[in-house]
């Protein structure tokens, strides 16, 4: 019965992925993802409890993790990313970046797009802690330093300056 439920869930997930691809409007796609994510929460929790995880399950897990980040649910995205990194999961073959790079770039970029990084300083610090020691491109590291620097600008200008200087060190074109 569990295998049958899993098969139905994977079929539903594949349909949902296919539907997302066909939504041209970025705003409508984000809303569809937000709505769709609700039905996968139990599956995600069960996935993190299981020992046996197939390639299709892992692929679905990664896409659902990214959808959480896409819709701005950074805390749930971080929870899922933390699990995956601690479990030593690698990004699926069709991902060009590592999990650490993907999470770092997508969350930092998403927060920068809000125009209010100071509202999300805690999330940015969690991301920094999560990806410490993981190899990533200098441009992605710079984006995280930039977002963190802007988040600290009003609260601790010295720390902000230090972080922004790190962003410049990693990428002189970081927009700092």
Nearest Cα neighbor of 140 from 119, 111, 117, 109 is 109
Tell me the per-residue pLDDT of 75-130, one tens digit each, with 9 for 90 and over. Answer: 999 999 999 999 888 887 778 899 999 999 999 999 999 999 999 999 999 999 99
Predicted local confidence at residue 78, as pLDDT: 95
Structure tokens at 32: 């569809």
Task: Say how far apart CA 10 and CA 30 lie, in whole Å.
Answer: 21
Query: 106, 69 in Cβ contact below 8 A?
Result: yes
The alpha-helical segments, DSSP class H, found in the chain are: 2-21, 26-37, 41-49, 55-70, 74-86, 99-114, 121-131, 138-152, 157-170
Predicted local confidence at residue 105, as pLDDT: 94
Average pLDDT in the chain: 91
| Other C-beta atoms lying within 10 Å of the C-beta of residue 102 | 20
- CA distances for 172 relative to 142, 159, 167, angstroms: 9, 19, 8
Phi and psi of 12, rounded to 5°? -65, -45
Burial 133-155 (b: 16+ CB within 10 A, else e): eeebeeebbbbbbbbbbbbbbee
Confidence grade of residue 50 (pLDDT, cut at 50, 70, 90): confident
Predicted local confidence at residue 171, as pLDDT: 95
Q: 74-86 and 121-131 are packed helices; what angle lies between their axes, rounded to 10 degrees? A: 10
Give the rounded percent of residues in the chain with a pLDDT score beyond 90: 76
- As a residue count, the chain comes to 176
Predicted local confidence at residue 4, as pLDDT: 55
Confidence grade of residue 159 (pLDDT, cut at 50, 70, 90): very high
Q: What average pLDDT does this structure show over 153-176?
A: 95
The region, left, alpha or beta by phi > 0 then psi within -120 to 50, assigned to residue 88 is: left
Structure tokens at 31: 């809303």
């Amino acid at each position: 019965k569990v295998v049958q439920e899993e098969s139905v869930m994977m079929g539903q997930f594949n349909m949902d992925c296919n539907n997302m691809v066909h939504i041209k409007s970025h705003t409508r796609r984000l809303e569809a993802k937000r709505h769709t994510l609700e039905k996968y929460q139990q599956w995600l929790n069960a996935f993190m409890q299981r020992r046996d995880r197939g390639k299709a399950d892992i692929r679905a897990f990664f896409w659902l993790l990214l959808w959480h980040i896409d819709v701005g649910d950074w805390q749930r995205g971080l929870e899922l990313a933390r699990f995956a990194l601690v479990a030593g999961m690698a990004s699926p073959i069709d991902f060009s970046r590592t999990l650490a790079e993907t999470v770092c770039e997508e969350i930092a970029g998403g927060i920068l797009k809000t125009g209010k990084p100071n509202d999300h300083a805690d999330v940015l610090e969690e991301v920094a802690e999560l990806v410490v020691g993981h190899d990533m491109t200098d441009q992605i590291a710079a984006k995280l330093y930039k977002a963190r620097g802007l988040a600290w600008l009003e609260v601790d200008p010295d720390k902000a300056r230090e972080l922004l200087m790190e962003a410049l060190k990693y990428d002189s074109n970081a927009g700092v």
